[in-house]
Amino acid sequence: MEVKQQLLQTCIDHVKSRIDTANSAIAEAREAANSETKSSAGDKYETGRAMMQQEIEKNATQAGEAQKLLQVLKSIDPSKTPGAVQLGSMVKTSLGHYYFAASLGKVSLDGKDYFVISPGSPLGQAFFGKKKGEKVTFLGQTHLIEELS
């Protein structure tokens, strides 16, 4: 499997895992809220249920955001070679290898490290639209784009 395809699949698997984790947390919070029994301390019962509802809403938001990201990732065509850095681009610079898809950080494949970053991140924005041979300066470091795929 080509490196770009492997990196994309790693991103997709990571986002699916985030969705599963959020959905599990929602199920646990619902179960906890439903198992709360009314006691003589009625306020405690209501506070517990309210806290569980907040937990459900927080995890539902996270699951929704991850679902949107998953749809974006699924729209990437790893066989496409762009003329400039964009979503789905793999870039080799003088300072490292970057894949622009989602914020995952460092991913190692076949003994080589790749920094998987979001195009919306500050570094991603600095690279966005740049072409092979151009330089990107970020936080005092200058990256020369040596390869773009």
User: Beta-carbon neighbour count of residue 18 at 10 Å?
Assistant: 18
pLDDT above 90 coverage of the chain, percent: 74
* pLDDT tens by residue, 89-123: 999 999 999 999 998 899 999 899 999 999 999 99
Instruction: Report, as an integer, the average pLDDT of 5-32.
Output: 93
Contact 132/125 with Cβ under 8 angstroms?
Answer: no
- Residues paired with 100 in a beta bridge: 117
The string of DSSP letters for 6-28 reads HHHHHHHHHHHHHHHHHHHHHHH
Handedness of CA 92, 93, 96, 98 (dihedral sign): negative
* Whether pLDDT at 42 is above 80: no
* Whether pLDDT at 13 is above 90: yes
* Whether pLDDT at 39 is above 70: no
Q: Say how far apart CA 84 and CA 6 lie, in whole Å.
A: 21
The string of DSSP letters for 119-149 reads TTSHHHHHHTT--TT-EEEETTEEEEEEEE-
What pLDDT sits at residue 33?
A: 76
Average pLDDT of the chain to the nearest whole number: 90
Q: Would you place residue 29 in the very low, low, confident or very high pLDDT band (cuts 50, 70, 90)? A: confident
pTM for the whole thing? 0.82
What six digits make up the tokens of 75? Answer: 């729209």
